[in-house]
Amino acid sequence: MPYNSNREGSGDNGLRGSTKEMREGETVMEFWQGERCEYCEGLIVEKKVSLSRKVKRKYVVVENVPAGVCTKCGTRYYAANVLKTIEETVRGRRKAKREILVPVYSL
C-alpha cells in the first residue's frame, strides 16, 4: 500500500530521515532510504522481522522488530534505539506478550 505523500508525519524520528503517514494510520520509516548493503551493495528496505535468541538458558522470540533488510542478500541492520529496546525486552524489563511451545529435535 503506497503512502499518501500529501500527509506529512512529524518529519523527524529522532535519528535521520522522516516518517510519512499512510492510509489507516500506518507509517513508513524512511530511516534506511538510500542506504546500501555493506556486503553486496543491494538496496536496504525497512521490514518488520522476528528474532529468536537464547537468554539465560531459555529461548525468546521478539516479534515486529523494525530492521533494514538487504533486498539482495537478506543481511539485517538494526538502528541503535531498536537494539537497546531489544536488550531491555529480553532482559525481562518488559512483560512477554504471550508464550509458545517450541518442539525440540535431536539428530
Q: What is the pLDDT of residues 30-79, one digit of tens each?
A: 788 999 999 999 999 999 999 998 888 888 999 999 999 999 999 999 99
102 — pLDDT class (breaks 50, 70, 90): confident
Beta bridge partners of 67: 47
With 0.75 as the threshold, say if the pTM is over it: no
- The number of residues making up the chain comes to 107
Task: Give CA–CA dist 4/24, Å, rounded.
Answer: 11
Q: Is the pLDDT of residue 90 over 90?
A: no
Contacts of 84 (CB under 8 A, 6+ apart): none
Where b means 16+ CB within 10 Å and e means fewer, 60-89 reads: bebeebbbbbbeeeeeebbbeebeebbeeb
Statement: 31-93 belongs to CATH 3.40.50.720:
no
2-24 pLDDT tens trace: 322 222 333 333 334 434 444 44
